[in-house]
Structure 1
Amino acid sequence: MSQFPHDEFAKNLFELLLTPFGAVEIERGVQPEAKAVDIYFQPSQPIPTEHNLGLLARCITQPAIFEPFRNPVGVGEIQMWIAKLFEILQELTRERKRLKQPDLAEVKPHLWILTPTLAAPTLTGFGSVNRVETWGQGVYLLPTHFQTGIIVIHQLPRTPETLWFRLMGKGTVQENAIGEVADLPANSPYKGNALDLFLSLKLELESKQSIEPEERNLAMRLSALYIEKIQEAQQIGRQEGRTEGERELVMVLLTEKLGNVSARLSEEIAMLSVDKLQELAKALLCFSSIADLTQWLTNNR
């Protein structure tokens, strides 16, 4: 079990969301000291709109470093991560010179520091600005050449645009985001895997010898979600059982009416919903040949 379950959850979540669109490095080392950045992302393709990554998609139009903090980040920690960013930039510059490649701004990584809350004096002390009109509430950009942004998660509006960042918040903010993921459509690209990450986080929290009240509440919320998932799976199982029964009945009736049905037609029948199987059971009473079945399947695809 991980000693830092929330940190592990954040890394796994970024890996889940970003891997389809580029290279994701977890714990990337930085020279000259033994340092590592949590998540380093190198994009390789545009993100289709149907993936609905919202604010996260805007943060990864160029290489990006993400440093999520479970508790409010301190001044010294921000300074340290900016220093790490500059070390990485120096490494990349040396590498491009060695390969005789142009030094383009768009290939330089942008640092994103994620924190649940942050005091206003800390934000102003770094010269950060919340450009609400372009980035929305809660996103603070440092002066241009710092290539750094601070996302204050608990200031983000509760919208689908900010969902994936709010999952890394605390307390009610995180619990609300978890509920929103659970309510996503079944065909959402990330829902199933995200729910699996929640289950892993639940197990990690329950394995801790000392658990904080906030974490206990989170574990209870995740337990409820886990129970809902089991019940949903059971319902799907019952539905699949019903479908299988309808399919077997239709195949028996077809065989008695028309003789053996080819494997290809059997596969098409296997793809039918319960409602369509019931329609076919009624329609086949009027069939006189396999051609009638073939035509019906063609008309009902």
Structure 2
Amino acid sequence: MRSRFDVWYVPDPTRAALRAEFGLLGELAAEPCQFEVFYETPGPGELRGCIRKQLQWHHELERRAGGALPFPRLCLLSSGRPATVLDAFGFAPVPGRPGLYRTAPGWRVDLVVIAELPRTRETLLLRLLGARAVLRDAIREFAALPDDAWERSIALPWLVRLLFEIPHEASACAALDTEEEELVKEVQQWFEQLKQSLRDEVRKEALQEGLKQGQLRTLARQLEKKLGRSLDDAERAVLAERFDRLGPDRLDDVLLELPAGALAAWLADPAAR
């Protein structure tokens, strides 16, 4: 039976500067790494299973390469603190990195306790993999990010998937404890707000596009009156391009200031402004 791990990650060397912006996650992703995510805290058996997969994968990588390769790092992401695992396998806290624990260097195993991570923006993506109150608070922080925040493009697919994985039936919701029920409501409320904001954005873009098309039609009619003829398709395309590039105020100035001959030349000149 073939073992599978959650994520096998190989960094792109050209994106080192981008990874540096990811804080702890960027540090963990600085080299090839096997990531294993645990919503419930893992026990010794789960850790041994991950190490078994780590060893098997190293063997497979060397077989494919036909020679020795560096031993890959294993990183466990645990929602809570697995005290038995930390004690039994000799994990030690990494100085200056709350929530990060590491075994002896030869094992190349890291363990992140998500519940112990500081509540900063650089840990937000990791805390979205947490549970209960940690996840709820992370979702609130995510929802408060600016619309152009880079975290949105990364985390949004995961959060949408989360919405479809949480229970919606009354019987299933009844089995949840208070904290889990609050989380379900939080995710559902956030998703409804997201859908509404997307609808509003679509409507806004449609309105802006409608206004633009109306302005272009008016400009085209004014140009045709001044030229004494209809615009062809190529001239209409030029008008639309210059509307976007130069703006409607500049086009108004051109209409008012240029005589018919100069206006025709302006339309025909690719470098005209």
- TM interval, shorter chain, is 0.7 to 0.9
How many angstroms does 1:67 deviate by?
A: 1.0
Please state whether the residue corresponding to 1:271 is helix, strand or coil: helix
Q: Which residue of 2 aligns with 1:277?
A: 248
User: How far apart, in 2, do the equivalents of 1:182 and 1:295 lie?
Assistant: 48
Q: Which residue of 1 aligns with 2:197?
A: 228
Matched AA of 2:86: L
How many angstroms does 1:167 deviate by?
A: 1.6
Asked if the contact 1:70–1:168 (Cα under 8 Å) also holds between the matched residues in 2, the reply is: yes
2:36 counterpart of 1:74: no
TM-score by length of 1: 0.70
User: How far apart, in 2, do the equivalents of 1:72 and 1:201 lie?
Assistant: 19
How many angstroms does 1:77 deviate by?
A: 1.3
Please state whether the residue corresponding to 1:132 is helix, strand or coil: coil
How many angstroms does 1:81 deviate by?
A: 1.0
Q: Which residue of 1 aligns with 2:223?
A: 254
Asked if the contact 2:76–2:111 (Cα under 8 Å) also holds between the matched residues in 1, the reply is: yes
User: 2:8 is matched with which residue: 40, 48, 59?
Assistant: 40
How many angstroms does 1:293 deviate by?
A: 6.0
User: 1:287 is matched with which residue: 230, 236, 258?
Assistant: 258
Asked if the contact 1:284–1:293 (Cα under 8 Å) also holds between the matched residues in 2, the reply is: no
Going from structure 1 to structure 2, the CA distance change for 1:237 and 1:47 (only over 3 Å counts) comes to same
Q: Which residue of 2 aligns with 1:140?
A: 101
2:48 counterpart of 1:83: no
* Identity over aligned pairs, percent: 25
Asked if the contact 1:47–1:57 (Cα under 8 Å) also holds between the matched residues in 2, the reply is: no
Q: 1 or 2 for the larger relative contact order (CA 8 Å, sep ≥6)?
A: 1
Matched AA of 1:249: T
TM-score by length of 2: 0.76
Asked if the contact 1:246–1:278 (Cα under 8 Å) also holds between the matched residues in 2, the reply is: no
How many angstroms does 1:280 deviate by?
A: 2.8
Asked if the contact 2:37–2:76 (Cα under 8 Å) also holds between the matched residues in 1, the reply is: yes
Q: Which residue of 2 aligns with 1:125?
A: 88
How many angstroms does 1:150 deviate by?
A: 0.8
User: How far apart, in 1, do the equivalents of 2:43 and 2:137 lie?
Assistant: 26
Asked if the contact 1:138–1:156 (Cα under 8 Å) also holds between the matched residues in 2, the reply is: yes
CA deviation vs aligned residue, 1:130-150 (integer Å, no higher than 9, x gap): 2233xx221212211111111
Matched AA of 1:238: L
Alignment of 1:8-157 (within 5 A): 33-47=1-15, 49-50=17-18, 52-96=21-65, 99=66, 101=67, 103-105=68-70, 108-120=71-83, 122-133=85-96, 136-157=97-118
User: How far apart, in 1, do the equivalents of 2:225 and 2:126 lie?
Assistant: 58
How many angstroms does 1:194 deviate by?
A: 3.9
Q: Which residue of 1 aligns with 2:132?
A: 171
How many angstroms does 1:181 deviate by?
A: 4.1
The count of residues paired between Structure 1 and Structure 2 equals 257
2:172 counterpart of 1:210: yes
User: How far apart, in 1, do the equivalents of 2:11 and 2:114 lie?
Assistant: 23
User: How far apart, in 2, do the equivalents of 1:83 and 1:294 lie?
Assistant: 70
Please state whether the residue corresponding to 1:146 is helix, strand or coil: coil
Q: Which residue of 2 aligns with 1:265?
A: 238
Asked if the contact 2:100–2:112 (Cα under 8 Å) also holds between the matched residues in 1, the reply is: yes
Q: Flag the structure with larger Rg.
A: 2
Structure 1, unmatched stretches of 5+, are 1-32
Going from structure 1 to structure 2, the CA distance change for 1:143 and 1:216 (only over 3 Å counts) comes to same
User: How far apart, in 2, do the equivalents of 1:243 and 1:267 lie?
Assistant: 9
Going from structure 1 to structure 2, the CA distance change for 1:194 and 1:294 (only over 3 Å counts) comes to farther
